[in-house]
Homo-oligomer: A and B are copies of this chain.
């Protein structure tokens, strides 16, 4: 006996994600959210609780979109392939609009660390999932021999995750066509390097 909703919850959540993604949590007002979500004030509060709860759901939705990424990493048979797949899916295959938006998780980690640490940690933990997948991949590659024993899987994963985070910062600055490619290709050369003349590093 109920009236049908005039809005689509999934669609509304997606639109909220887009706005939070662009403007950040603090700078995005509820009124702006209502506008892009095409939802009434009352419906938003009854459906999502409040602005903060909505953001938590948005983070969850955003992370669910990275499943494709994690799967690709898990399936890779050599380390360079894993990274290339990552880059391919996360950067090349993105439309400019999405690419230039950067990463909601990175944005959130930075924005809310000293404002709402709980939210910041949620974002950080989601990103850690990606790092774990990379560690697993590299460990698997080490076992199968496609990763040179000189490389530590964990350190290697932390390196690439950090590079990706940096690239998400750069992406938001709307870099030239080849900028990110140069970065990732340079990063990939760590696989082909020898370390002989690197023993006396002390820093």
| A residues at B contact (CB < 8 Å) | 22-24, 26-27, 84, 87-88, 92, 102, 106-107, 109-111, 113-115, 124, 152, 154-156, 158-159, 161-167, 169-170, 172-173, 179, 181-190, 192-198, 201, 203
A22 to B92, CA, bound (A): 33
A203 touches B88 (CB 8 A): yes
Nearest CB to that of A113 among chain B residues?
Answer: B172
A185, A189, A194: most-surrounded residue (chain B CB, <10 A) = A189
Nearest CB to that of A190 among chain B residues?
Answer: B189
14 A-B pairs whose Cβ atoms sit less than 8 Å apart in the complex: A22-B113, A102-B113, A106-B169, A107-B111, A110-B172, A124-B173, A152-B182, A155-B185, A162-B170, A169-B169, A187-B187, A188-B198, A192-B194, A192-B196
Asked if A24 meets B190 with Cβ closer than 8 Å, knowing A158-B183, A203-B92, the reply is no
A88 to B110, CA, bound (A): 23
A27 to B89, CA, bound (A): 33
A72 to B12, CA, bound (A): 50
Contact among B22, B111, B181, B193 with A194 in the assembled complex (CB-CB below 8 Å): B193
Chain multiplicity (copies): 2
Could you tell me the dominant secondary structure of chain A's interface residues?
helix
A159 touches B173 (CB 8 A): no
Q: Which 4 pairs of residues, A with B, have the shortest CB-CB distance?
A: A193-B193, A166-B166, A162-B166, A159-B186
Contacts of A165 in B (CB 8 A): 165-166, 169-170
A110 touches B102 (CB 8 A): yes
Contacts of A169 in B (CB 8 A): 106, 109-110, 162, 165-166, 169
Contacts of A196 in B (CB 8 A): 192
A189 touches B193 (CB 8 A): yes
Apart from A155-B182, A161-B166, A186-B190, 9 more pairs, CB < 8 Å: A24-B24, A102-B113, A109-B169, A110-B110, A152-B182, A164-B166, A166-B166, A189-B195, A192-B198
